[in-house]
Amino acid sequence: MSAMKNLSQGLSDHYFESVNRRFYETHNEIDKPIGHGAFGIVWAVTDPRTNVRVALKKMPHVFQNLVTAKRVFRELRMLCSFRHENVLAARDVLLPCSVEAFDELYVLTPLMQSDLHKIIVSGQALTAEHAKIFTYQILRGLKYLHAADILHRDLKPGNLLVNGNCLLKICDFGLARAKEHNPNVTMTTEVVTQYYRCPELLMGVDHYGEEVDMWSVGCIILELLTRRIAFQANTLPEQLKLMVNTIGSPTINALSGLDSAKRYVTSMKRSENKILRILQTQSCLEPHDISAVELVDRLLCWNRHERISAKEALRSPFIDEGRVRFHSCMCTCCSSSLAGYRQYCRDTEPVPAQVFSDQFELRLPSLHVAKETMYQFIRSQPCGPQQPLCINPRSPSFRAFLQSTVAQPNEDPVSPTRWE
């Protein structure tokens, strides 16, 4: 294969290779790491076919065991299926040189400028208007995911990418999975970053649905409005105490099915809900704006069966201004006429045509089959026909990228906390 022209400033070798020996022009921006997660590292690079800056996610050690291979394949299929402007989707999947050499996965996605965590901890302005438009987009994207039967299971500010125009995309589907409709199937509780984990997960519930994501949204809204993590604790018991002190003590009925921790929680000193006081004294909201209080209360409730869905949350008056702003000048679903009038689409909060299925995992009995199946999936160009690319392992940029590794966490869930 012939190498492409240099894609990184100051490098004498080439980062990408063309599969059909086509040459590309040099771009003058430097390739650099911009983020990492539990299962991958992300670099900002230039797509040599378009000279557009994109994000390149590297997923190493894909085939270290069958559990990891299935998880990565699940994430890949999700990324290639998404068609929503508030959900990060794959633009392309780089073709491995061969099925024998296939050990790492490289996915191109749109490049976003920052994430909500960086915005929150920075010194830049973060107003109630910002919070409303961000909340609207989170709920809009989450409605799409949940309608596709996808549970994100790791919503937090760091997994919400944003651009300078306030466009937001939900990202990082490394822990995502299809909704489990069989109530007898046990699900892992080791999901969701601890600060954004709902109480039933802290207490060891082994079957759950969209409500775990909705609790995380409530935590994120509070953090957007106060610039403080709502439930920041070092241990799970301390976190439950924070929850009791913030949203009030639960009723016995609210803890139904959570017998392992019921005695621990009910033994705490009784507390009242303080959401109203927090938002009136510590947030960027106007004192008379109680719509946020009503929304957060319905998201951060002990009884998971009473927690509202994304579709219901989108009816909240709190995000009305965000909805108008988004569809007035930001969305791609609406358009402007030549006369300057905004033409709004009939369905401003679309859902996918079909749900995501994880049945393909049943047809992956071994690592060999998983590798061959994933390789053929990538060869089929799941993101649409385009000039294929693959990584050039001789490039100095690649050598630096290769060293950007992440620790692989134990795939097996740890033992739940003993509350009694």
- Tell how far CA 209 is from the center of its chain: 16
Give the phi and the psi of residue 56 in degrees, each rounded to 5.
Answer: -115, 115
214 within 8 A of 295, measured Cβ to Cβ: no
Spell out the residues 6+ positions from residue 414 whose beta carbon is closer than 8 angstroms to its own.
190
The beta strand positions in 52-104, using DSSP E, are 52-59, 92-93
Query: What are the residues facing 57 on neighbouring strands?
Result: 42, 107
- Give the number of other CB atoms < 10 A from CB of residue 199: 26
Query: What are the residues facing 63 on neighbouring strands?
Result: none
Spell out the residues 6+ positions from residue 85 whose beta carbon is closer than 8 angstroms to its own.
167, 169, 331, 332, 333
Query: Is 154 among the catalytic positions?
Result: yes
Spell out the residues 6+ positions from residue 138 whose beta carbon is closer than 8 angstroms to its own.
86, 155, 160, 168, 170, 217, 220
- Give the number of other CB atoms < 10 A from CB of residue 419: 18
Catalytic residue among 31, 92, 149, 154: 154
Give the phi and the psi of residue 373 in degrees, each rounded to 5.
Answer: -70, -40
Element (H, E) at 18: strand 16-18
Tell me the residue type at 83: R
Give the phi and the psi of residue 17 in degrees, each rounded to 5.
Answer: -125, 145
Closest to 21 (Cα-Cα) out of 10, 45, 5: 5
Tell me the residue type at 331: C
- Give the number of other CB atoms < 10 A from CB of residue 44: 17
Q: In what order do the strands lie in the sheet with 92-93?
A: 32-36, 41-47, 52-59, 105-110, 92-93
Between the two ends of the chain, the Cα-to-Cα distance in Å is 63
Residue 274 annotated as part of some ligand binding site:
no
DSSP 375: H
Tell me the residue type at 361: E
**Residue found under tokens 């001789």:** 394
Residues of the binding site for ATP: 57
Which residues are annotated as part of the binding site? 57
Q: Give catalytic residue positions.
A: 154
